Amino acid sequence: MLSPSSSIARGSFFLLAPLESLHCEDVKNITSIEELKKTKIDEQFVRYCIGEYKPAIVTANLFSFFRFTDKQAYLIIIDKRSDSTSELRRYNFYGLLDTYGKGKIVISSSTLTSEQIKKSINLTNVLINQGQAFVLELFQFSEDYDESQDWWMRGIIYEIVVASYQDSNNDGIGDIQGLRQRLDYIQSLGVKTIWLTPIYTSPWKDYGYDISNFCDIDPRFGTLDDFRQLIDDVHSRHMRIIIDFVPNHTSNEHPWFQAALRNDPKYVDYYIWHKGKNNGKDLPTNWVGSSGQHMWTFSSERNMYYLHQFLDCQPDLNFRNEKVIDEMEKIFRFWLDLGIDGFRADAVRHLIENEQYNDEPLCKDAKDMDPNIMYAAYDHIESADQPGSYELVRRWRKFFDEYAYENNRDYIVLVTEAYIRDVKTVMQYFGDNREECGSDVPINFFITYYLDKDDDEKHGLELDKVLSDWQVNLPEYGWSNWCLGSHDSHRITSRLPSKELIDGFYMLLLLQSGTALIYYGDEIGMCDRPFTLTNRDEIVDITAFNYGEKYFNKMIRDCQRTPMQWTNQQAHAGFTSSTAKPFLPLSDTWPELNVEQQQNALRSHLKLFQQLVKLRQQSPFYGGHQKKVIATKELYAFVRWFDKDIYLIIINMNKKGHNPVISDFVKLLKCQDKELFGEVIARSCNVLDDSLIGNEGNQINLNNLILQSSEAVVLKLLTSPSNISFCQ
């Protein structure tokens, strides 16, 4: 009798495939089809030879396939390498067979430990050693959640600007100890992962994205010991922590750059230098950066120009230099050794430039933009999204996989930021294919871009275009993600046509398939704080000054980075003491918009957010099916279902003053019955209590569902998906 702990010859695994489906190349170097025809399959082995056959990943080094029925499924994997290499290979099998996302080894070609037998394998991340073969019994994500591998998929990633969250030492700047004081609150949100913006040593000319020491904590935030305590505290709560990593550039005060200025042979090529045109009289190219400056600055020490895609105090590193790549891997290892769970890699589209240094063309719609300062005025075909940048992300993903394997670590997540409005370009950061894996979470900013539109364009049809474009272009092997805002975009509440729509957008964020990223304060509906050029002493984001009065309001980022609003019972909303001056002024909304007030209210944005986070842990929302029901200017609705449960999420996209929207969801869902009822599971805060959808547990007829302006509701349908033709 075979068991997972016993071993079996690698060639025997081919017997689980129909022999008539095999080709000589499939079994090359292991066996032959003639030999397989002579071999009798073990009676215990044959139990996995069920139902239908479907090839999975087939390459020169790997042969894999599925055997499945409507109730059971197995994935058979055979590594065909016969050389002496011990290189670990990663493959992504997710999306090849329905919604199966997990597997457990039931038979292996090598003897397994009890720990290996018990371990659940995420199909996005199947690691295979040379010459290994095994059978995986497959499960849905919702059937087999494994904290060690799946933590980044089901949970919420909560972005915190540390300086803005909680001050513990009364200097007006948030810090690590302050963050530790607020972990109870963060945990109460249902957050799985805390993402910290840069906390490295920095002159802080760009909120810490100008780093002078990658392996230490800036004193304004605390010490490495403080950070170790934070990691321990987070892990003790079964939460995770990832940190912003800024690989593209350093501060000009970094020792590497100072050494490069001195022509130190070791560091002379750590950055990108150019002699310029016309004997140095002209800039090397016409490239304009992301911070309102040309990308080249002249260095009198080197008598050359250095490249900086951001501020002139942030020189770009040269990733064509292997020594720089080695330095980055040392930095990764330093923080991983401390115990962090992953990285959010900043500005990855800027890592590599075309070495030809050609000028870049203006965009077609650049006529209203100043080409001397506006990054968006150009089509950045030379300085962004180069093949080498994708390759570097894949290389880092491989480094993390090997580190986790060698150190018996849980999965290390790689989140990447590529701020570009072309969805196909963003998708390339997932990796080239199922063998060349890249980013786990290339952040999906497309709802954020949608919110940049004029208010009359922020309706259900435009929203549908944005959501559909992402879903259609998502690689079959890609795990989706959604976000509403970040430290680089104005607050969602300040950009919606109606502030009351925030609850409906929570539903979009949290109940669609994929990982959800939330920016601190958005859970209570925090708003922007306006700044003006006349208040220069209040402004931290010096980048905004590069844009002048015309673009200032659009480009300043201080608006969305103001201190967290905890209470209206203390000075500065509880962020710092009454005697301290916050490093940024608070939003004027803090007396009526704060955590304490929303915790004590019968209903609030915060309480709905927490309610939805709990709901998304259920199977239809984690690994189940999703389908749009209707998209009009006034209405957007979709369903999530799995097994016997089906949920309907409906958002009225109108702002106040519009007529209610009446819909027949029995007809829209093609229900086989004449009537269909739904139970209210959650609803937006603006719904009146005496409304039909006013209270959880209410059962309403979906033949004529009425939603007022900006209302949103989650309904559990009182039928099964098999009764809904729309879901077939």
Short-list 212, 191, 227, CA closest to 335: 227
Q: What six digits make up the tokens of 470?
A: 């992402």
Q: How many C-beta neighbours within 10 Å does residue 536 have?
A: 11
- The amino acid that residue 237 corresponds to is R
Backbone angles phi, psi at 25, to 5 degrees: -65, -30
- Contact (Cβ atoms closer than 8 angstroms) between residue 429 and residue 442: yes
Q: What residues have CB less than 8 Å from 541, skipping those under 6 apart?
A: 207, 556, 557, 558, 561
SS (H, E, C) 617-653: CCHHHCCCEEEEEEECCCEEEEEEEECCEEEEEEEEC
- Binning the chain into helix, strand and coil, the percentages to the nearest 5 are 30, 20, 45
SS (H, E, C) 201-237: ECCCCCCCCCCCEEEEECCCCCCHHHHHHHHHHHHHC
Q: How many C-beta neighbours within 10 Å does residue 11 have?
A: 17
Q: How many C-beta neighbours within 10 Å does residue 296 have?
A: 23
Q: Which of 26, 244, 346, 523 is catalytic?
A: 346
387-406 and 322-338 helices, crossing angle to 10°: 40
Residue 346 designated active-site: yes
Backbone angles phi, psi at 585, to 5 degrees: -65, 150
What does the alpha-carbon distance between residue 429 and residue 452 come to, in Å, rounded to a whole number? 24
DSSP conformation letters of 392-440: HHHHHHHHHHHHHHHTTPPPPEEEE----S-HHHHHGGGBSSSSSB--S
DSSP conformation letters of 14-25: GGGS-GGG--HH
Pairing type for strands 273-274 and 240-245 reads unpaired
3-state secondary structure of 602: coil
Place of tokens 């990943």: 57
Which region holds residue 416: left if phi is over 0, alpha if psi is between -120 and 50, else beta? beta
Q: Which of 144, 382, 417, 711 is catalytic?
A: 417
Q: How many C-beta neighbours within 10 Å does residue 368 have?
A: 7
Length of the chain: 728
Residue 675 designated active-site: no
Pairing type for strands 413-416 and 121-122 reads unpaired
Q: Name residue 483's beta-bridge partners.
A: 517
CA–CA distances in Å: residue 92 to residues 106, 109, 399, 479: 19, 20, 16, 11
No. of helices (H) and no. of strands (E), the chain: 19, 29
605-615 and 502-511 helices, crossing angle to 10°: 20
Short-list 405, 188, 371, CA closest to 288: 371
Backbone angles phi, psi at 590, to 5 degrees: -60, -30
Q: How many C-beta neighbours within 10 Å does residue 456 have?
A: 9
E strands present in 238-328: 240-245, 273-274, 296-299, 304-307
Pairing type for strands 712-717 and 200-201 reads unpaired
What does the alpha-carbon distance between residue 511 and residue 154 come to, in Å, rounded to a whole number? 11
Residue 265: CA count within 13 A, CB half-sphere:
0
What does the alpha-carbon distance between residue 651 and residue 520 come to, in Å, rounded to a whole number? 23
Q: What angle do CA 589, 491, 562 make, to 5 degrees?
A: 55
Which residues participate in catalysis according to the annotation?
346, 417
